[in-house]
Amino acid sequence: QITLKESGPTLVKPTQTLTLTCTFSGFSISTTGVSVGWIRQPPGKALEWLAVIYWNDDKRYSPSLNSRLTITQDTSKNQVVLTMTNMDPVDTATYYCTHGRGTVFEDFWGQGTTVTVSS
Amino acid sequence: SYELTQPPSVSVSPGQTARITCSGETLPKKFAYWYQQKSGQAPVLVIYEDTKRPSGIPERFSGSSSGSMATLTISGAQVEDEADYYCYSTDSSGYHRVFGGGTKLTVL
DSSP chain B: ---BB--SEEEE-TTS-EEEEEE-TTTTTS--EEEEE-TTS--EEEEBTTTB--TTS-TTEEEEEETTEEEEEETT--GGG-EEEEEEEE-TTSS-EEEB--EEEEE-
Name the nearest CA neighbour of B8 among B108, B105, B107, B92. Answer: B105
Which residue does chain A place closest to B101, by CA atoms? A46
Q: What is the pLDDT along chain B (108 residues), one digit of tens a residue?
A: 789 999 999 999 999 999 999 999 999 999 999 999 999 999 999 999 999 999 999 999 999 999 999 999 999 999 999 999 999 999 999 999 999 999 999 999
Q: Measured between CB atoms, which of A47, A61, A63 is closest to B43?
A: A47
Kindly state the percentage of chain A with pLDDT values over 90.
98
Contact assignment for B48 to A105 by CB distance below 8 Å: yes
Residue B49 touches chain A, beta carbons under 8 Å:
yes
Q: Residue A66, SS3?
A: helix
> Which residues of B are less than 8 Å from A47 in CB distance?
35, 37, 43, 86, 88, 99, 102
B68-81: b or e for each residue (b if 16 or more CB lie within 10 Å)? Answer: ebbbbbbeebeeeb
Which residue does chain B place closest to A5, by CA atoms? B42
> Which residues of A are less than 8 Å from B100 in CB distance?
46
- Say if residues B29 and B60 touch (Cβ distance below 8 Å): no
Q: Residue A61, SS3?
A: strand
> Which residues of B are less than 8 Å from A105 in CB distance?
33, 45, 48, 88, 97
Q: Measured between CB atoms, which of B1, B31, B44 is closest to A63?
A: B1
Q: Check residue B1 and give its pLDDT.
A: 78
